[in-house]
Amino acid sequence: DNAHIVFGDDTLRLHGANNRISYNNHDIFHKANKPRFAEDIEGKPNTLSGYGISNFKVETFRGDLNTLKTDGIYSLPTAVGSSNLPVENTACHIQVIAGTQPGWCRQLGYPAYTSDVYERHQVSSANDDWSAWKKLNSDGIPVGAIVSFPKAVRNPAGYLRADGATFAQNTFPDLYRALGNTNKLPDLSRTDIGITAWFPSDQIPSGWLAFDDIRGRVTESTYPELYRLLVAKYGSIANVPQAEDRFIRNAANGLAVGQTQGDAIRNITGKIDSG
């Protein structure tokens, strides 16, 4: 299934089985027989500089990111030995954009195992100053905002429960800064200890105590915070006033919080005119 044409000592050969055309045993490439980069191109460069791109790098890096001003993509497989990272102590990829202008370089950071993207840039070529890393991707809600979810939603992605717990500063650096450089979350899982509330039913909600059950149920082991609060105020749990058959009023006119006031009906005097 082959055919060849001889021109003197030169031969043009048509290989029908594999769509090849060769001239003196050298392939002629065409649409049906495209060259293979790794096999058919002789003397091919194996670096970008071989193609005339001398100021772009794709390489592993370790060190001070302030020194990265050559356009390229850099891999930092470990945070050890590097500084000025997008997220402290976290491996990442860094993309450098300078465009032949290293005096106003820009960096994009991609921390490992996340979809987060950070940006920073030089703010002065004279002093080599850089802006702080800023997270670019978000869901439109400011970092540190408190959002309500139905009880059925237990662990929504991207959120932490405001239950007074602490978190790793390295994992959530933006939240750390938003909370005023603290890694302690606000506790919104309960109201203030000792608060008194009225309910339109005798069914006491979970987490609450009937006021007159305090003396019998509040101990240092069962309700330690409430116990300490009440003992500090009244000296002992037994001294907490009862509310049964009493009206609760505001503290004023010499009446302090926790003080009981006797009835004044017996002090009313007068006469009844029977005529």
Give domain limits for the chain: 2-40, 54-135, 140-189, 192-264
Q: Which residue has the tokens 């009206």?
A: 247
pLDDT of 275 reads 64
140-189 CATH:
3.90.1340
Give the rounded percent of residues in the chain with a pLDDT score beyond 70: 97
pLDDT of 20 reads 82
- For the record, the structure tokens of 72 come out as 């390229």
For range 132-144, the mean pLDDT: 84
Q: How many CB atoms lie within 10 A of CB 176?
A: 20
Cβ partners under 8 Å of residue 102, min gap 6: 69, 70
CB 258 within 8 A of CB 250: no
CB 82 within 8 A of CB 64: yes
For range 87-112, the mean pLDDT: 91
The separation between the first and the last C-alpha atoms of the chain, rounded to the nearest angstrom, is 143
* Higher pLDDT among residues 65 and 3, named by residue: 65
CB 147 within 8 A of CB 141: yes
Average pLDDT of the chain is 85
Helices (H) and strands (E) in the chain, counts: 4, 11
162-213 pLDDT, tens digit per residue, is: 988 999 988 888 899 889 999 999 888 777 788 888 888 888 888 789 988 9
pTM recorded for the entire structure: 0.43
pLDDT of 37 reads 76
199-250 pLDDT, tens digit per residue, is: 888 888 887 899 889 999 999 999 998 999 999 999 999 999 888 877 777 7
Coil/strand/helix, residue 89? coil
pLDDT of 165 reads 92
pLDDT of 1 reads 61
